[in-house]
Amino acid sequence: MLAPRPAALPTDKPSLYRELNLELGGLFAGERNAIANAANMSALLFERVPDLNWAGFYFLDPATGGLVVGPFQGRPACVRIAIGKGVCGTAMAERRPILVPDVNAFPGHIACDAASRSELVLPLVAADGILGVLDLDAPYPSRFDEDDRRGLEAAAALYVTASDLSGIPRI
């Protein structure tokens, strides 16, 4: 069950992410379906994290060996991204979070939405491999910082722990 919406969002990021991760725990309680959890998580992130223009998932597609778009909130997205290409594909290949203050300065950036100016991508790491990424875009340069990375990395870990990932491929 979703926790009641706070009257006002916290102004400091660590508090914001503590509250957000408590709400995610409530959303995930009793639900193990990975797609349902990704859909609800995308919606919650898009609603609660200020200044986003896209929040969602890309999952490994075994048929192509690349990433395919999953549940998200925002404008229509690039459907497929090759491993090692763009910010999402690079985070997947390198198995590490990537925080990009200015997407125009990122070599090989894939512009799914020309309005995006900064990006944070977090790999979804399970015990037996990486299954995809959580991707957040913002219409402002330098929107994301280390507080965002830490808070959203914890959110991504909550998703992985709460979801039945048995049907989702990984590398």
- Interval 58-87: pLDDT, tens: 999 999 999 999 999 999 999 999 999 999
Residue 103 in any domain: the answer is yes
Classify the phi-psi angles of 92: left when phi > 0, otherwise alpha if psi is within -120 to 50, otherwise beta.
alpha
Overall domain count for the chain: 1
- Beta-sheet strands, E only, within the chain: 54-61, 66-74, 80-81, 98-100, 118-126, 129-138
> Looking at the domain assignment, is residue 35 inside a domain?
yes
Provide, rounded to the nearest whole percent, the portion of the chain with pLDDT above 70. 94
Say how many Å lie between the first and final Cα of the chain, rounded.
32
Range of the domain at 61: 13-162
In a domain, 84, yes or no: yes
Q: What is the pTM of this model?
A: 0.92
In a domain, 121, yes or no: yes
96 within domain boundaries: yes
Instruction: Read off the pLDDT band of 1 (50, 70, 90).
Output: very low
* Residue 131, domain member (yes or no): yes
Any domain includes 64: yes
Candidates 72, 82, 20; CA nearest to 50 is 20
Residue 139 sits in a domain whose CATH number is 3.30.450.40
* 171 in any annotated domain: no
